[in-house]
Structure 1
Amino acid sequence: MVAICDIVKKNDDDSAATAATSDDNSTAMVRKNSFVVSCKIINHRSTTNKTTKKLSLTSSNKMPFFRPSLFSNVPPTIRFCLHDENKVQKPKKSIRKLLKWRHNSLTPRVIRRALLNSHFEIVDADSRFWIGYWGRHWKTPDFRQLLPYQKVNHFAGAFNLGRKDKLWTNIDRLSSKNVKNGEFSLLMPKTYILPHDLSLLKQKMSQDGQLTPYILKPPASARGTGIHVVHRSSQIPRKKSLVAQTYIYNPLLLYGSKFDLRIYVYVTSFNPLKIYLYQEGLVRFASVKYSKCLSTITNRLMHLTNYSLNKSAAQDENIENRSETGVKWSLTKFWNHLKHMGKDVDKLQNEIIDLIIKTFICCETPINSYMNEQISITRCIKILRFTSSGSPYSANYTTKPWCNVGKDTSLHQKEAFYIETFEKTGKIDPTILDDLTGEDLRILIDLEDEYQRRGDFVRIFPDQEANSRYLHFFETNRYANLLLDEWLNQYFHIRETGLKLLEEHCKRKAHVATKRCD
């Protein structure tokens, strides 16, 4: 039996910050809950053994080490605990010796403590055997070195989400394909990629006049590093790699200060696309009250909301016009504040979810292309943080524990048939759920097991109500997305019936791979 776990990582800008502030409940809980959704033990024979069954039973006040699947003959998941939670039961030595985590200096303290509390051993970076890694993004070819039981906290090609220039390129591409309805035009402000678009930007600034400021950002940095607000083209570096956007000069203010929303999004798979939204988050404030005066345009504490910039300034009594809010609220406090003001919170939340789903749709084609090229078995997950302006900032994870199954001709034919039917009619043929293959069953089992252990996450895609709206936006129609859509269409409201159907297949081991893992 081989232990496999799927972890979530925020992007590099928060790794160091969180290591220093690991007691922050919001970031700690989102990471812990992400462990729960995707951590799985793989038995290469796809059956649970007696040891697994014993450890799934509660024999003391400690939590069971394994969380059983909903289905027979399906591997369980590892149960992770934070450092201040009751430890899980210690597994037998034969399992414990497999729980190796590769050391990296960027692994946040909250993750290291959770690993140790869950009976993992953190081993040297040059160790040959490990099952989990959390660190900087790998170079694309490095993903080919991953073994079937190893997990890393990045997707191959994730820079298509994490880099602001790549993100804009992907959004702009899909926006141009949906010009009539303008579905993607508001996901991200018009962005100029410098120095390539420098002449276009200067022309636009000349038309706008000096009263229109622009914000300049490095395409791949974070924590407020390298961000500047300018209002003259002469202030723009001529050769530096940057992205430029019109600065929102009349922003929504709270108690006179700028703010943004930090919303955590967890992706367990890109094929099929599965997205979870964490129910808690952060509201970040600038530490100095906002002013439209151009003379304040260089005041980063007024114009930027990054916590790393504002956390110390908020306590400095010598700073004029300090914000009255502090530098952070919980998202729950913010929603309650809006409700008290009579605002339609449900509408705003639905608009944010719409933004999130569309952003992933814009980027799923290039990411799937990299994943298919570099990784034979899906073993990545990703967490992103979306701000209120619609600009996602990347972070990472790891996922799929199933053995790789070679696809025979009949399976290719089935997939091609249902994809072609959807493309011609715009509807999914309900017979897609007839004669489910082993691979079909594994996809559906993963969906239901993940949903069962979702904790404080909400699955926003696939969704039984939203899918019909979004599927036609995908550049590539993928069989697995169609399969999950029809499954939820038929069984979401009668879930027990669907679970019984899957259980019947699992008892017969119809889901078990018949070909060797790569």
Structure 2
Amino acid sequence: MSLCSDGSTDESESSEEEELITWRYQKSAKHGANVCFKPEVVIEQPNKQRKQIGVQNNLTFKFVRSSTGLIRNILSAYGFKEAREASNDYNLMWLNSHVKPYSLRNLMDFQRVNHFPRSYELTRKNLLARNVERMAQNKNAKLFDFCPKSYMMPGQYQDFCHAAAREKGPWIVKPQASSRGRGIFLVNSPSQVPLDDSTMVCRYIHNPLLIDGFKFDVRLYVAVTCYDPLIIYLYEEGMARFATIKYETSLKSIKNQWMHLTNYSINKKNPEFVRCEDAEQEDYGNKWTLGALLRYLRDDGIDTAALMSRIEQVVIKTIISVEGQIAAACKTFVPFRGNCAELYGFDVLIDDTLKPWILEVNLSPSLATDAPLDLKLKSHVIADFLNLMGVESVDPLSRRSKDARLTHAYNLGRSTKSGVSAPSSGQYDTSSLSPDDVKLLRWVQDQNERRGGFLRIFPRADTWANYGALLEYKTHTNELLASRLFKETYRPYSSVVRNKFNERTESSRFVRYEERLDPLDKTKKKKKRKRPKKKKDKTSAAENFVENDDYEDEDFPATQIETISISSQQSIPTVSSGTSTRRPEKSENEGKTKHVKKSVENSEIYRSIKEAQKKKTEDRSHKTETKVPCVNLSQKVTDYSSQMELVTKKILSEAGSLSQIEAREAFVTYLRRLQLRFLNAANEKIRDTNITQMDLVCRFLRKASSNLQNPMEINIPTAESGIPVLQRKRILGDLLVEFIARYEGDTEIMLANNPVFSDVVDRPLFQKFCMSCKESEVEEILTKYTTENKSASVFLGAK
């Protein structure tokens, strides 16, 4: 893939700063180069050479029932002209509503549309709840428990009454098709639910994770570029949106929308709303970036890699729940695979056990740029999404006159038609593939190279293994991608559907979510580039690793792999609550006192954040190395890391008193840590000559599997088999996954029959400990438990 530069009019700029205009990855005259969109064009002066891209090729776009200023500005900067809504000669059609299927039938291969047919299966609240519920019933209820239980009014009113009688607490009422928080309110009794409208009543998540006492949710940007095969990307940055009044659970506050709802459209009307006027200050006011939120949580001791892994999993499963319906509609109505791509806005709530909940999926996420932070984030998202779509620089008028239209019978139903001609040089062994299969693989490869800030989360080696079996629209294209991209780990449609807690904390990939977006202002980029690099610490385990967001994509060229260096200073949290956990680089404005408006200074959220900053700073300055003389969990601990430190000491001191269920849960936690270590070692090609632990685990699996209710057949290659150690580690890791799933099933049976827990710590605290503890901590606890109970069979079980 070669790139064509802008040849900037500023002769003083070096070649490395020249703007890249187009990707030229095809040599066929039938296809033009893809326009390479840059986010900074929204604030730059018009560039004549850049505009020539659209002018020379007569590139056009049209809005249908929409008018988005941000998109118009980006396209206009590249010389695109806006066509009439009725015109069929365009390169890009952008809608803010559902696309009419018949409008897609006559698309040409270079035309792009920002919606798939039948996307309402995902974006209508009632249909999303129905699809997830169907998957829970047909597949696995534990895998699909990430949407609050919902009832449709008025048809399911009696079912709701029975549920409300069993489960006391607030419920939230939502219109089935609305946005921006309109028509949403809380109730605590079925009599308060109106029955004259089509509404949906959902279980209210009463235990949200709080930041300085405020409730928040996260807006994520998810791109689906194809449903057959299913390809999902998640953007590396998002937006955390805060309520404007501190959270309470009392009934008197149930009607306070500014406390319980986090929608920007609602909270901006509160005088207490704090607006951030600096795009580079990502953790100030009622809107933070996702990266700033994760840095804050990491600073509080939360495993943000595990959290983002769980978020990725619920996003994948949500889209899989509608994959069958939308893929079938695409086969019927969409002529070419590359015609449609869609950007969804996922709203995710995180509870205090760090479990992510899908609140809703937005068809057309808001692209309003009311604040500088919105402009920076959404400009990056849209520019990278347009690049991901692959907008070709093809004149629609001349193309229509030169090309004979492919017949309806030839186009429709050909799900393998990619609309992309094959490059001259290949990365694949094409001897056993059809021409359409080769085009598909190269289309996916080209698309991945243009992904920008998007991270492909499905298919990946781990997510295919976990969720490949859940796909309902089973065609050979999904199998083709998996078998070619993940040769070493490929299993047809994944013979094992892994448990939802099987989390791979690949820190080298998840760190992307915590990094800052580049500023739109090029001058700031130059200053950042000229600053000297910090001296590396050779002892840091996190420095100078190679991060490939498409894990195990062996067939993808090395040009897509990004090298990210992290100094030891960056890997250690250094800044207190309410600020970024990465130490900011010095700038010309450093040291100056920032002026804060009086109205902002008096707001509740501003005072709360400043108090938290002061408290954490004082705590760190007085921190000593003395041991805590006693463990007292009765006192209120606001700092998450301090709380978990006390919980760990408490469990360790009374490990022998844990119940059998708790011991089994701790044992599963230990096995997961072990499994992750084996898989990471195999995937990162870490060669460990000491295989004693591998042999111990092999002997354990052979012995312990016979104690399961559903025994496993253990077939582990020995060292004498000649199979490389790395491959044996991978096999062992896969067997551990299957053992854990069956072992947890036995634990659930015990839990249902005899739910006995110890009083060492509260149940929620013990579950938090299992999610965040280190391998060495849980190993010490299990050792002490085994010693005091004189046998390991208490948690291993025996028939």
Pair 1:171 & 2:232 matched: no
Pair 1:495 & 2:556 matched: yes
SS in 2 for 1:280: coil
Relative to structure 1, is the Cα distance of residues 216 and 241 closer, same or farther in structure 2, using a 3 angstrom cutoff?
Answer: same
**Amino acid of the structure 2 residue aligned with 1:147:** L
Relative to structure 1, is the Cα distance of residues 129 and 286 closer, same or farther in structure 2, using a 3 angstrom cutoff?
Answer: same
Pair 1:243 & 2:200 matched: yes
Return the alpha-carbon distance in structure 1 between the equivalents of residues 315 and 430 of structure 2.
28
Relative to structure 1, is the Cα distance of residues 88 and 217 closer, same or farther in structure 2, using a 3 angstrom cutoff?
Answer: farther
**Amino acid of the structure 2 residue aligned with 1:214:** W
The residue that corresponds to 1:357 in the other structure is: 316
Return the alpha-carbon distance in structure 1 between the equivalents of residues 286 and 409 of structure 2.
53
The answer as to whether partners of 1:255 and 1:325 remain within 8 angstroms in 2 is no
The residue that corresponds to 2:22 in the other structure is: 66
Return the alpha-carbon distance in structure 1 between the equivalents of residues 237 and 466 of structure 2.
26
Shift of 1:291: 1.2
Return the alpha-carbon distance in structure 1 between the equivalents of residues 54 and 75 of structure 2.
18
Return the alpha-carbon distance in structure 2 between the equivalents of residues 108 and 158 of structure 1.
20
Return the alpha-carbon distance in structure 1 between the equivalents of residues 8 and 90 of structure 2.
29
Match for residue 362 of structure 2 among 385, 394, 397: 394
Relative to structure 1, is the Cα distance of residues 218 and 66 closer, same or farther in structure 2, using a 3 angstrom cutoff?
Answer: same
The Cα RMSD (Å) is: 3.4
Using the TM superposition, name which of 154-163 and 197-206 deviates more.
Answer: 197-206
SS in 2 for 1:390: strand
Unpaired runs of 5+ residues, structure 1, are 1-47, 318-323, 415-430, 500-518
Shift of 1:446: 1.4
Shift of 1:345: 0.7
**Amino acid of the structure 2 residue aligned with 1:440:** D
Relative to structure 1, is the Cα distance of residues 139 and 337 closer, same or farther in structure 2, using a 3 angstrom cutoff?
Answer: closer
Superposed CA offset, 1:26-70 (max 9, x none): xxxxxxxxxxxxxxxxxxxxxx9xxxx9x935544563542112x
The answer as to whether partners of 1:267 and 1:276 remain within 8 angstroms in 2 is yes
Return the alpha-carbon distance in structure 2 between the equivalents of residues 93 and 205 of structure 1.
60
Return the alpha-carbon distance in structure 1 between the equivalents of residues 88 and 155 of structure 2.
43
Return the alpha-carbon distance in structure 1 between the equivalents of residues 313 and 48 of structure 2.
38
Pair 1:289 & 2:257 matched: no
Relative to structure 1, is the Cα distance of residues 314 and 451 closer, same or farther in structure 2, using a 3 angstrom cutoff?
Answer: farther
Pair 1:195 & 2:154 matched: yes
Pair 1:83 & 2:42 matched: yes
Matches within 5 A, 1:319-398: 326-378=285-337, 379-386=339-346, 387-388=348-349, 389-395=357-363
Shift of 1:135: 2.3
Relative to structure 1, is the Cα distance of residues 282 and 72 closer, same or farther in structure 2, using a 3 angstrom cutoff?
Answer: same
Pair 1:436 & 2:433 matched: yes
**Amino acid of the structure 1 residue aligned with 2:24:** P
Return the alpha-carbon distance in structure 1 between the equivalents of residues 97 and 202 of structure 2.
26
Relative to structure 1, is the Cα distance of residues 194 and 271 closer, same or farther in structure 2, using a 3 angstrom cutoff?
Answer: same
The residue that corresponds to 1:512 in the other structure is: none
Shift of 1:495: 3.3
Unpaired runs of 5+ residues, structure 2, are 10-17, 275-282, 350-356, 365-384, 393-404, 417-427, 488-551, 561-799
Match for residue 309 of structure 1 among 266, 277, 280: 266
The residue that corresponds to 2:445 in the other structure is: 448
The residue that corresponds to 1:22 in the other structure is: none
Shift of 1:404: 7.5
The answer as to whether partners of 1:65 and 1:88 remain within 8 angstroms in 2 is no
Relative to structure 1, is the Cα distance of residues 332 and 488 closer, same or farther in structure 2, using a 3 angstrom cutoff?
Answer: same
Using the TM superposition, name which of 149-158 and 259-268 deviates more.
Answer: 149-158
Match for residue 116 of structure 2 among 130, 137, 155: 155
Using the TM superposition, name which of 128-137 and 150-159 deviates more.
Answer: 128-137
Pair 1:469 & 2:425 matched: no
Return the alpha-carbon distance in structure 2 between the equivalents of residues 329 and 309 of structure 1.
17
Matches within 5 A, 1:114-129: 114-129=74-89
The residue that corresponds to 1:208 in the other structure is: 167
The alignment's TM-score, normalised by the length of structure 2, stands at: 0.48
**Amino acid of the structure 2 residue aligned with 1:174:** M
Greater RCO, 1 or 2 (C-alpha within 8 Å, sep 6+)? 1
Using the TM superposition, name which of 195-204 and 109-118 deviates more.
Answer: 195-204
Matches within 5 A, 1:256-275: 256-275=213-232
Match for residue 229 of structure 1 among 186, 189, 193: 186
Q: Which has the larger radius of gyration?
A: 2
Using the TM superposition, name which of 126-135 and 221-230 deviates more.
Answer: 126-135
**Amino acid of the structure 2 residue aligned with 1:255:** D
The alignment's TM-score, normalised by the length of structure 1, stands at: 0.73
Relative to structure 1, is the Cα distance of residues 214 and 432 closer, same or farther in structure 2, using a 3 angstrom cutoff?
Answer: farther
Superposed CA offset, 1:271-307 (max 9, x none): 1111111111111111111111111111111110001
Number of equivalent positions:
418
**Amino acid of the structure 2 residue aligned with 1:283:** A
